[in-house]
Structure 1
Amino acid sequence: MTQADLRFLGVDSDDEEIYRVLLRRGGFSRSELARLLAEEARDEAADQDPLAVHHRLTRLGLATETLGGLLAPVSPAKAVEGLVEHAVGRLRHELEQEVVSSGIVDSLLAEHDKSLDGRAQGLDLNVTTEHIEGMPSVRAAIDELTFFARTESLTTSPTGVLSPESIRHARVLDGRILRRNVHMRTLMASTALEDPGTMDYLYELVSKGAHIRISYLPLERLIICDRAVALTPIDPVNTSRGAILTRDPGLVAALVALFERMWRTAHDLPLAADGEAAGSDLANDFQRRLLRSLCTAQKDEIGARDLGMAVRTYRKHVASIMQLLGAANRFQAALLARERGWI
C-alpha cells in the first residue's frame, strides 16, 4: 500500500519524514535533531540547518517546544487540522483577491443594472440615496458593502447583545473584512457587558485586529464603509422595516462625524481584574499562534506572513500580548506564556 503524504497540504517530504520520526520517538532534543539531520545528510548529500528545521516544524504546527526544550510532535489529528485550516485560509484569500482584481462582481452588477434599466419602474440608477425594504434586502446590501470595503468599516450596535444567529452571520462578514486588514471600529451598547456570548465574540474580534468600544450613552445604528457609503435604519425603533443607503458625500460625512462623536465618548473594552478578557480564554488559538511565531519567526515580516496579516498589524498584536503578560520584551513574553501553559 502506498504511503499517503502531506505534500498537498504544503509540507515537503523532508519535513514530513522528520515529523514521522518525531511521532515514533516522542520527541527530540536539539542535539538529537542535529544528529538525525547529519545522518540524513550523509545518506542523501543534503545538509539542513537544525534551527531552520526546528522553526519550520513549529511554524507548520507539526511540532512544539516543551518547557524542557524538547521538540515534541503535535498530535496527527490536530496537526492536519491546522494544515487544512491554513490551506483553506490561504485559498480563500487568493480567491477573494482574484475576485477583486478580475472585476467579475462589477460585470455581473452591470448586467443587473441593465435589467433594471429595461423595466418601466421610473428608477434613476444614479441616485445617491435609496430605500431598502425588508431584512433580506438589507442583509444583501450589508453583504455587498462589506465585500467592497477596502480601508475602513465603522459600525454600531445600539442593542449591545448579539444572538448566536447574529454572531454566526457576523463572523463571516467580519472575518472577510479583517482578513483584508480593513481598519474596523465597532461601538457596542453597555448591555453587551452582561452577555457572555457577545463578550466572547467581541474578544475574538479584538484578537483579530478589530477596535471595539463600549458606550454607556444611546447609540444611533450606523454602518459606514470607506467613508463613502452609509446604511441607517428607516425606523430606528423598528429596524425590520428596512434601511436607507446613501452615497451622498455630504450626508456620509455627517454620519461619519456622528460616529466619531459617539466613539470619543465611549470606553475601551474592559479587562477582568486578573488582566484577562472578561468571559474569554486569552490563550485562544490566535494568541497561541502569535506566541509561537515569537519563538520561531526570525523577523516580523515572516511572522506576519505566517499569520496572514500586515506587519503593522502583527506588531500591534505583539505589543498587546506583551502588555497583557506584563513582559518587558519578546523573550520574556515567550517565557511567561510558557509558564502559563499557553505554548
Structure 2
Amino acid sequence: MAEHEMLVLGLSHIEEDVYRHLLRNPGIGVEDIHVLLRHEAGATRRSIQRLRELRIIQEADGVARACEPELVVARLAEQRLEELYDDIRSLTHLRPLVDSLGREIPGPVDEDHRRVERITGLEAIRTRLDELAFFARDEVLAAEPYDALTPENIENSRPLDMRCLRRGVSCRSLIRRTALKDGPTRSYLLELTAAGAQIRVLDALDELMLVYDRRTALVPLDPGNTSKGALCSAEEGIVTTVVNNFERLWAGADDLTALLGRRGESTPEPGPTETQGKVLRLMCTVGKDEIGAREAGVALRTYRRHISDLMQLLGAENRAHAALLARERGWV
C-alpha cells in the first residue's frame, strides 16, 4: 500500500486508500471495497460517506469514480488553510487565559511591582518587548529617535512588527527625518508601510516612547543614555502622559508616504515574481518537491531556493505558515 501522504490534508489512511483505489480502478462498485483493501467494513463505509461529502468521489448508476487529483488536492488544501487560519486567530487571543491562570497563584500580589517595572540589560528589554508585542491586540505607538537601524535591529524588529500587523493591530511610529537617508532603514520603513503600518516623520525627535494598547508604556530610565535600562509601567497616569505626548508629536509630523510622494517616489508593494508565484501555488497544492519542480520546469535545487526566498519574503517560519500568509495577502 502507498505511503499515506494525504494525512496533512485531513484524510484518514482509510479514506486515502479508498481514493487511491478508485483512481486505479475507475467505474467500480464500492460495496465490497473493504474486502479488497482489508479494512473493517463499518470504518470503510464511513470513509466512503465522507469522501462523498468532500466531493472527492462521485457515484452514478451504482459505480464510483475518483475526482481529478489536482482539484481534490487544491480543495483539501484550501479547507486545511481555513482551519489553520481559524486556529491561529484563536491562539492570538490568549490574554483571558493568562489572567485566569494568574488568579490561581496563591499568596498576596505585589501590585506596585506589577504596575511599574524597572528593566536593565538589552536581552531583558528585548524579551519584555517581545511579550508586549505578542499580547498587543489593538494598538502599538512608537516614537524611536534613531538615525539608522543596524541589520541586527531590523532582524530583531521584523518578526515583532509583522506579527502585530498580520493580526490587524494598528501600528503608528514616529521617526527622525535623518533616518530616511540610510538605505536599509528606509527600505524597512517602506516594508512596514506596505504591510499596513502608519509612519510619520519629524525633523527633531529626542524621546523614546513605546505604548501597547494604551495600557502599558515603556520609556528609558535615562533619556540621554538608553543603555541604562527602561521603565515599563501600567500605571494609568504614566501611560496617559506618554500617550498624550505621543499624540502631540504625531499631530505635527509629516506622513512618510505623502512625504515620499512629494519627492516623486512611490512606496513599493513587495510581492512574488511570476516564477515565485507559480512555485508558491505548487507548494500549496503538490505534496513532493520533485513533482513541484518538474511542473514548474526548474531544477529541484532551484525550486527549493524559490521556496526559501518566498518564506523569507513572507516572514514565515515554515511552509505551512508561508501558505497561510500568502493566502492572507491574496498571493494564492
Does TM-score exceed 0.5, indicating one fold? yes
Equivalence for 1:248: 235
Match of 2:266 among 243, 257, 276: 276
Match of 2:188 among 198, 201, 212: 201
Distance 1:233 1:140 in 2: 15
User: Could you list the per-position Cα deviations for residues 291-323 of structure 1 after superposition, in whole angstroms to 9, with x for gaps in the alignment?
Assistant: xxxxxxxxxxxxxx98676xxxx8xxx9xxxxx
Contact map agreement 1:9 1:87 (CA 8 A) in 2: no
What are structure 2's unaligned runs of at least 5 residues? 21-57, 278-323
- Runs of 4 or more, structure 1, over 3 Å off, are 1-7, 40-48, 86-92, 97-101, 108-111, 123-128, 270-275, 305-309
Per the normalisation by structure 2, the TM-score is 0.55
Distance 2:89 2:114 in 1: 34
What are structure 1's unaligned runs of at least 5 residues? 18-39, 62-83, 118-122, 290-304, 319-341
Equivalence for 1:97: 92
Equivalence for 1:175: 162
User: Could you list the per-position Cα deviations for residues 18-53 of structure 1 after superposition, in whole angstroms to 9, with x for gaps in the alignment?
Assistant: xxxxxxxxxxxxxxxxxxxxxx999967999xxxx7
Deviation at 1:215? Answer: 1.5
Contact map agreement 2:175 2:205 (CA 8 A) in 1: no
Match of 1:107 among 75, 85, 101: 101
1:212-291 paired onto structure 2 within 5 Å: 212-270=199-257, 271=260, 275-277=265-267, 281-285=268-272
Distance 1:3 1:184 in 2: 46
Equivalence for 1:29: none
Contact map agreement 2:165 2:171 (CA 8 A) in 1: yes
1:6-85 paired onto structure 2 within 5 Å: 8=8
RMSD of aligned C-alpha atoms?
A: 4.8
Counting matched residue pairs gives: 240
Deviation at 1:167? Answer: 1.2
Matched AA of 2:101 = S
Distance 2:59 2:188 in 1: 49
User: Could you list the per-position Cα deviations for residues 218-240 of structure 1 after superposition, in whole angstroms to 9, with x for gaps in the alignment?
Assistant: 24100001112111000112111
User: Could you list the per-position Cα deviations for residues 149-176 of structure 1 after superposition, in whole angstroms to 9, with x for gaps in the alignment?
Assistant: 1111101110142111111111121122
Name the CA shift for 1:4/1:196 in 2 (closer, same or farther; >3 Å).
farther
Please tell me whether Structure 1 or Structure 2 has the larger radius of gyration of its CA atoms.
2
Matched AA of 1:107 = L
Distance 2:223 2:143 in 1: 12
Distance 1:88 1:239 in 2: 44
| Alignment of 1:157 onto 2:163 | no
Matched AA of 2:92 = Q
Identity of aligned residues (%): 30
Name the CA shift for 1:242/1:183 in 2 (closer, same or farther; >3 Å).
same
Contact map agreement 2:208 2:219 (CA 8 A) in 1: yes
